[in-house]
Chain A
Amino acid sequence: MEREQLEFDVLFVGAGPANLAGAIHLKKLAQQQGREIEVCIIEKGESIGAHSLSGAVLDPKALIDLMPDFREKGCPIEETDLRDGVFYLTATGQLRLPYAPPSMHNEGCFIISLSRFCAWLGTIAEELGVNIFPGFAGVEALYDEAGRRVIGVRTGDKGVNKDGKPKSNFEPGVDLLGKVTVFGEGPKGSLIREVGKKLGIFAGRMPQVFETAVKEVIEIPAASPFLASPFTVLHTFGYPLGLNTKGGGFLYRMKENRVSLGLVVGLDYEDPGLEPYQEFLRFKKHPLIADIIRHGKVLQQGAKTLAAGGLYTMPQLAVDGALFVGDSASMLNVQRLKGIHTAMKSGMLAAETILTAVGKGDVSAATLGDYRVKVEGSWIRNELYAARNFGQALSQKGIAKFITLGAQFVTGGRGFVDPMNITDDASTLQAGRFRPSTQVQDHDGKLYLDKLTGVYLSGTKHEEDQPCHLLIPDKELCVTRCWETFRSPCTRFCPGQVYEMIQEEGGRRRLKLTPSNCLHCKTCEIKDPFNNIIWTCPEGGGGPNYSIV
């Protein structure tokens, strides 16, 4: 099929904080230098911010660099008065740490809703003349004839039915061409996966690892004692995950009697029976949290993974014609539980590199490689270097975790072994560790929700009549080895109830997929022990419709 081609100078794939900051910075720099530059951003979500979810505590240092007048420009900030409390939870009680570790001091930071923040950055970018196309998914990277240089991205066809046949409103995807393409797809991007395979950008790195967060925004009564408590930022560890599973909880105060509540679970967990969503509900029922949210109402729910690997998993940052930014390039600082500031900074450094390269007419990996030099010379590197073994320490079991963390604390991140090894999330499930999930049954439809009500509150919708976007290369494996060994962990790790094991007449099992429930979190592709789930982009515009998470 002949496809329409649209040419730009720079093409950003994914409208998260990295690419939005990159596009804004690029336009501003070009303006300062009196240069014209055509910039395009595509985003698979129906609108900018619709697929953005984070805690989120924002360290504003990149934002200040990008836009010193961000307040005058209407930056949506939920809370500026950040007072930290770090708690160790037991099943029924809590112990407040007498002092919070330095990495968890958040004075000077802001609480934001990332979806609101991205929507706002989108309006700023648009005002600067960036062509923003929400509702368009990149489905294939395009290369030059030699297959070495990235030249752009093909967008997905729309109006294709379940059987792959065009419907009456069929609209073919187009080829978007850029002198430079910037991949900022967030954690576990479906394009960077293919680019990585073809051009080897992950070769020689430790495996990319992730954590899954389930999050809600809850409206609490105006009279809630929490609104007068000494803390606005709570972090917890211990219950419900225990000390052998990486992760922890958070609760942040927002405007209008709202709180942001979430639980992050490291995807290197070993117990095939673990269900992050159920752990989240157990966390909500812990007295410390339950007291705060009592008589509250869930306004929005969502789930997303975050790139937790850090410095030693950072891929090659530039290839011929393309750069990688933000979570796609493992820029998140897991020690500070923050990735928005590093993502934005990486996008801005990419923009500076691109402007020079496009000016010279040389977009080779050698010239674009200046981006890595810039990252190495920036505070991103300093932060990530200090945290280079932090995630690995958290992955340790029981008390060893604290000994290692202590050693890293006194040695500036080196600890006992440097680098500490990282294990691929897909390989950590242990058949012998199976513990049936503790189901929290008493959903009330208002404050404690089952998964499907949660999906409803994420605003998720997809065109129903389209090909399934979750590819299962070996369906037989699901009902044989995977069921026998792990009892189908996909039915538990997916927070959207996309995967269900059905027993048909005659006792035969079948994996039933409901792809329209998909929250685009990518946990399935990351955690599937047989690497038997491939996440591809559904029709553009599908997925969650986040606005306040």
Chain B
Amino acid sequence: MDIVVLVKQVPDTESLVQIAGDGASIKKDDIKWVMNPYDELAVEEALRIKEAKGGSVTIVSVGPQKTQETIRTALAMGADKGIHINDPLAEGSDSLATAKILAAAVKAIPFHLIIAGQRAVDEDNYQVGAAVAELLGIPHVSLVAKAEILDGKIRCQRAVEGGTVVVEATLPALFTTQRGLNEPRYASLPGIMKAKKKPLEAKTLADLGLDPAAVGAAHRKVVVKALRLPPERKAVRMIQAETPQAIAAELVRILHEEAKLI
């Protein structure tokens, strides 16, 4: 079973996020970049399926040079090879354009299954996975909490309000990950050593036969106009009392008398 995993490099959520001078992007200097956490689940799931069924795991990512670090992390976890679409013309692409690029890259390689994170935690658009499936004309199952490979099919569990839905799709298919799908493995030290020697192919838009006029910051169909930070946090108030009962009573008193919420 040949599996493709779509990954994105995103700012570490613990990073110091500051809005840049243009008011519509973030300052990138002091940021640590990591693999999107939902993509970690995708890589882990792909590796587990490969371990059970054989085959290969290919990582595909779009981004600037430093994106290589994230692809190497996935290779260190155990993926076999990476494809890095690194082209300045692709920078600033919106979700649809990103999906076009990824779909073009995936189309060129054999695959039975594509796994992607449900969303990237930087922009939270939830669009790329579904759009790639659409562009490739294959079924798409979103927010998968459990996946099972059957003969020529995939059976997925999705959580819905109050219960679970079980859905099946024929392969090739694409699904996106939900928290709880698995516990991603650590990149081991020997794994990191081996990853240095694994193939990592760099591609440009031209290599993929893509028209630069369809992608990139200048051709966004959706434009970010402004970014705003959440309101400043108010100081946390710790309720101190001798017993849990007294703490609960004080909490109720505060909610009732001061916050006037109950």
Interface residues of A (CB under 8 A from B): 4, 6, 46-47, 50, 131, 133, 136, 155, 158-159, 167-169, 171, 174, 176, 299-300, 443-446, 450, 452-453, 459, 461, 503, 505, 545, 547-548
Contact A169 B193 (CB under 8 A): no
Q: Determine the main DSSP class of B at the interface with A.
A: loop
Which residue of B has the minimal Cβ distance to A76?
B29
Tell me, in angstroms, the Cα distance from A452 to B31 when the chains sit together: 22
Tell me, in angstroms, the Cα distance from A50 to B31 when the chains sit together: 12
**B186 partner residues in chain A, CB cutoff 8 A:** 158-159, 169, 171
Which residue of B has the minimal Cβ distance to A457?
B16
Contact A171 B185 (CB under 8 A): yes
Q: Does B239 contact A (CB under 8 A)?
A: no
Q: Does B183 contact A (CB under 8 A)?
A: yes
Q: Which of B151-195 contact A (CB under 8 A)?
A: 182-186, 188-190, 192-193
Contact A445 B235 (CB under 8 A): yes
Q: How far is the CB of B44 from chain A (nearest CB, A)?
A: 8
**B190 partner residues in chain A, CB cutoff 8 A:** 4, 6, 174
Contact B184 A300 (CB under 8 A): no
Q: Does B108 contact A (CB under 8 A)?
A: no
Q: How far is the CB of B27 from chain A (nearest CB, A)?
A: 9
Q: Which of B18-35 contact A (CB under 8 A)?
A: 18, 30-32
**B232 partner residues in chain A, CB cutoff 8 A:** 445-446
11 other contacts beyond A459-B16, A545-B12, with CB at 8 A cut-off?
Answer: A50-B32, A159-B185, A169-B183, A169-B186, A171-B186, A171-B188, A174-B188, A445-B233, A461-B14, A545-B32, A547-B32
Q: Tell whether A174 pairs with B234 under 8 Å between CB atoms, given A167-B183, A461-B14, A545-B14.
A: no
Q: How far is the CB of B75 from chain A (nearest CB, A)?
A: 15
Tell me, in angstroms, the Cα distance from A452 to B242 when the chains sit together: 22
Contact A545 B15 (CB under 8 A): yes
Contact A169 B185 (CB under 8 A): yes
Tell me, in angstroms, the Cα distance from A275 to B235 when the chains sit together: 21
Contact B32 A155 (CB under 8 A): no
Contact A174 B235 (CB under 8 A): no
8 closest Cβ pairs, A-B complex:
A171-B186, A459-B14, A169-B183, A158-B186, A547-B30, A169-B185, A445-B235, A174-B189
**B184 partner residues in chain A, CB cutoff 8 A:** 169
**A168 partner residues in chain B, CB cutoff 8 A:** 182-183
**A131 partner residues in chain B, CB cutoff 8 A:** 193
Q: How far is the CB of B76 from chain A (nearest CB, A)?
A: 10
Contact A548 B30 (CB under 8 A): yes
**A174 partner residues in chain B, CB cutoff 8 A:** 188-190
Contact A547 B185 (CB under 8 A): no
**A450 partner residues in chain B, CB cutoff 8 A:** 235-236
Which residue of A has the minimal Cβ distance to B34?
A46
Which residue of A has the minimal Cβ distance to B192?
A133
A-B contact list, 21 entries, CB within 8 Å: A4-B190, A6-B189, A6-B190, A6-B193, A50-B32, A131-B193, A133-B189, A155-B189, A159-B185, A169-B184, A171-B188, A300-B16, A443-B235, A445-B234, A446-B232, A452-B236, A453-B235, A453-B236, A545-B12, A545-B14, A548-B16
**B32 partner residues in chain A, CB cutoff 8 A:** 46-47, 50, 545, 547
Q: How far is the CB of B239 from chain A (nearest CB, A)?
A: 14
Tell me, in angstroms, the Cα distance from A503 to B247 when the chains sit together: 13
**For this complex, into which size category does the number of interface residues on chain B fall?**
20 to 34
**A503 partner residues in chain B, CB cutoff 8 A:** 242
**A6 partner residues in chain B, CB cutoff 8 A:** 189-190, 193
Tell me, in angstroms, the Cα distance from A176 to B189 when the chains sit together: 10
**A459 partner residues in chain B, CB cutoff 8 A:** 14-16
Tell me, in angstroms, the Cα distance from A443 to B237 when the chains sit together: 11
Q: How far is the CB of A27 from chain B (nearest CB, A)?
A: 16
Which residue of A has the minimal Cβ distance to B245?
A505
Which residue of A has the minimal Cβ distance to B12?
A545
**A443 partner residues in chain B, CB cutoff 8 A:** 235
Contact A547 B16 (CB under 8 A): yes
Q: How far is the CB of B177 from chain A (nearest CB, A)?
A: 16
**B235 partner residues in chain A, CB cutoff 8 A:** 443-445, 450, 453
Q: How far is the CB of B74 from chain A (nearest CB, A)?
A: 15
Q: Mark contacts of B232-254 with chain A using CB atoms, 8 A cut-off: 1 yes-contact digit, 0 otherwise.
A: 11111000001100000000000
Which residue of A has the minimal Cβ distance to B196?
A131
Tell me, in angstroms, the Cα distance from A229 to B14 when the chains sit together: 34
Tell me, in angstroms, the Cα distance from A297 to B257 when the chains sit together: 32
Tell me, in angstroms, the Cα distance from A317 to B259 when the chains sit together: 62
**A155 partner residues in chain B, CB cutoff 8 A:** 189
Tell me, in angstroms, the Cα distance from A293 to B188 when the chains sit together: 44
Q: How far is the CB of A167 from chain B (nearest CB, A)?
A: 7
Tell me, in angstroms, the Cα distance from A401 to B32 when the chains sit together: 45
Q: Which of B54-112 contact A (CB under 8 A)?
A: none
Contact B15 A136 (CB under 8 A): no
Which residue of B has the minimal Cβ distance to A459?
B14
Tell me, in angstroms, the Cα distance from A168 to B32 when the chains sit together: 27
Q: How far is the CB of B248 from chain A (nearest CB, A)?
A: 14
**A453 partner residues in chain B, CB cutoff 8 A:** 233, 235-236
**A547 partner residues in chain B, CB cutoff 8 A:** 15-16, 30-32
Tell me, in angstroms, the Cα distance from A168 to B242 when the chains sit together: 39
Q: How far is the CB of B184 from chain A (nearest CB, A)?
A: 7
Which residue of B has the minimal Cβ distance to A461?
B14
**B189 partner residues in chain A, CB cutoff 8 A:** 4, 6, 133, 136, 155, 174, 176
**B236 partner residues in chain A, CB cutoff 8 A:** 450, 452-453
